[in-house]
Structure 1
Amino acid sequence: MSAAAGLDFAGLDLASIPDRIQTEVQRAIQRSIKGVEYFSSSGPSLGSTPKDILSVRGTMNLYHYRPMSDEIYRVPILIVMATTNRGYILDLVPGQSFIEFLLKRGYDVYMLDWSAPKPEEKRLAMEDYVLDFIPDCVRKVQADSGETDVTVIGYCFGGVLSLLYGSIFSDGPMKNLICFTTPIDFREMKLFQNFSDRRYFDVDHLVDSVGNVPPEMILSSFEMLRPASRAAGQVQLWENIWNDEFVKSYRMFDRWATDTLPLAGEYFRNITKDLMWDNKLYNGAMSVGGRAADISQIKVPILHAVAEHDHIVPYEAARHLIPKVGSADKEEVMLKGGHVSLVAGANAIKRLWPKLDSWLAGRST
Structure 2
Amino acid sequence: MKRGNIVANVAEKALWSVINTAERKLFGENFIISNSTPYDVIYRDRIMSVRHYLPLEESQISVGDDPLEVNQNTYRVPLVLVPPLAATSMIFDLMPYRSVVRYFLAKGFDVYLIDWGDVTEDHSDLSLETYVLEWMPAAMQQIRKVSGQEDVSIFSYCMGGLLSLMYAAVSGDKHIKNMITVASPVDMHSSGVAGQVLSTIYRPAQIISQLMNISLLDLPARYLHVPGWVNSLAFKLTSPVGNVVNYFEMLMNMWDREYLKEHLTMSQWFNEMVDYPGETIKGMAVHMMINNRMAKGKMKIGTEQAEFKKIECSILAFAGDSDKLVSTSAARKALDIVSSEDKEFCVVPGGHAGVFAGAKAPGNTWAISADWLESRSN
Please state which band the TM-score falls in when normalised by the shorter chain: 0.7 to 0.9
Cα deviations by residue, 1:328-353 (Å, 9 ceiling, x for unpaired): 10011111122222222431222222
Aligned to 1:136: 138
Counterpart code for 1:52: D
Q: Out of 345, 355, 368, which is 1:332 matched to? A: 345
Aligned to 2:23: 40
Counterpart code for 1:341: G
Q: Out of 107, 110, 125, which is 2:109 matched to? A: 107
Q: Is the 8 A contact 1:212 1:264 kept in 2?
A: yes
Q: What are the equivalent positions in structure 2 for 1:310-329 lying under 5 Å apart?
A: 310-329=323-342
Q: Is the 8 A contact 1:116 1:263 kept in 2?
A: no
Cα deviations by residue, 1:243-264 (Å, 9 ceiling, x for unpaired): 5543332112101111211121
> How much has 1:211 moved relative to structure 2?
6.1
Q: Is the 8 A contact 2:124 2:221 kept in 1?
A: no
Measured at CA, do residues 39 and 271 of structure 1 come closer, stay the same or move farther in structure 2, by a change above 3 Å?
farther
CA distance in 2, matches of 1:28, 1:275: 56
Counterpart code for 2:333: H
Higher Cα Rg, which structure: 1
Measured at CA, do residues 243 and 203 of structure 1 come closer, stay the same or move farther in structure 2, by a change above 3 Å?
farther
Q: What are the equivalent positions in structure 2 for 1:17-96 lying under 5 Å apart?
A: 27=10, 30-31=13-14, 33-34=16-17, 36-41=19-24, 42-68=30-56, 70-96=72-98
Q: Is the 8 A contact 1:125 1:264 kept in 2?
A: yes
For residue 347 of structure 1, give the secondary structure of its aligned residue in structure 2. Answer: coil
Counterpart code for 1:83: L
CA distance in 1, matches of 2:326, 2:12: 41
Within the alignment, does 1:353 sit opposite 2:341 as a pair? no
The runs of 5 or more residues in structure 1 that have no matched partner are 1-17
> How much has 1:305 moved relative to structure 2?
1.7
Q: Is the 8 A contact 1:207 1:213 kept in 2?
A: no
Q: Is the 8 A contact 2:298 2:308 kept in 1?
A: no
Cα deviations by residue, 1:106-128 (Å, 9 ceiling, x for unpaired): 11010001212354432221111
Q: TM-score, normalised by structure 2?
A: 0.83
CA distance in 1, matches of 2:332, 2:347: 10
Considering only aligned residues, what root-mean-square deviation do their CA atoms show, in Å? 2.9
CA distance in 2, matches of 1:195, 1:266: 22
> How much has 1:356 moved relative to structure 2?
1.2
Aligned to 2:66: none
Counterpart code for 2:131: Y
For residue 322 of structure 2, give the secondary structure of its aligned residue in structure 1. Answer: coil
Q: Out of 259, 262, 269, which is 2:275 matched to? A: 262
Q: Is the 8 A contact 2:310 2:338 kept in 1?
A: yes
CA distance in 2, matches of 1:152, 1:34: 43
Measured at CA, do residues 67 and 267 of structure 1 come closer, stay the same or move farther in structure 2, by a change above 3 Å?
same
CA distance in 2, matches of 1:190, 1:205: 29
Q: Is the 8 A contact 1:302 1:330 kept in 2?
A: yes
Q: Out of 302, 305, 309, which is 1:289 matched to? A: 302
CA distance in 1, matches of 2:123, 2:96: 35
Aligned to 1:160: 162
CA distance in 2, matches of 1:24, 1:342: 41
Aligned to 1:14: none
Aligned to 1:13: none
CA distance in 1, matches of 2:192, 2:10: 43
The runs of 5 or more residues in structure 2 that have no matched partner are 25-29, 57-70, 206-214
Q: TM-score, normalised by structure 1?
A: 0.85
Counterpart code for 1:63: R
Cα deviations by residue, 1:120-154 (Å, 9 ceiling, x for unpaired): 43222111111111111000000011111111111
> How much has 1:228 moved relative to structure 2?
3.2
Within the alignment, does 1:299 sit opposite 2:312 as a pair? yes
Within the alignment, does 1:221 sit opposite 2:230 as a pair? no
Measured at CA, do residues 208 and 100 of structure 1 come closer, stay the same or move farther in structure 2, by a change above 3 Å?
closer
Counterpart code for 1:147: Q
Counterpart code for 1:335: V
Q: Is the 8 A contact 1:207 1:269 kept in 2?
A: no
Measured at CA, do residues 361 and 203 of structure 1 come closer, stay the same or move farther in structure 2, by a change above 3 Å?
same
Counterpart code for 1:136: A
> How much has 1:161 moved relative to structure 2?
0.3
> How much has 1:238 moved relative to structure 2?
2.3
> How much has 1:29 moved relative to structure 2?
6.7
For residue 107 of structure 1, give the secondary structure of its aligned residue in structure 2. Answer: coil
Q: Is the 8 A contact 1:117 1:212 kept in 2?
A: no
CA distance in 1, matches of 2:180, 2:137: 17
More displaced stretch, 203-212 vs 282-291: 203-212
Q: Is the 8 A contact 2:321 2:351 kept in 1?
A: yes
Counterpart code for 1:224: L
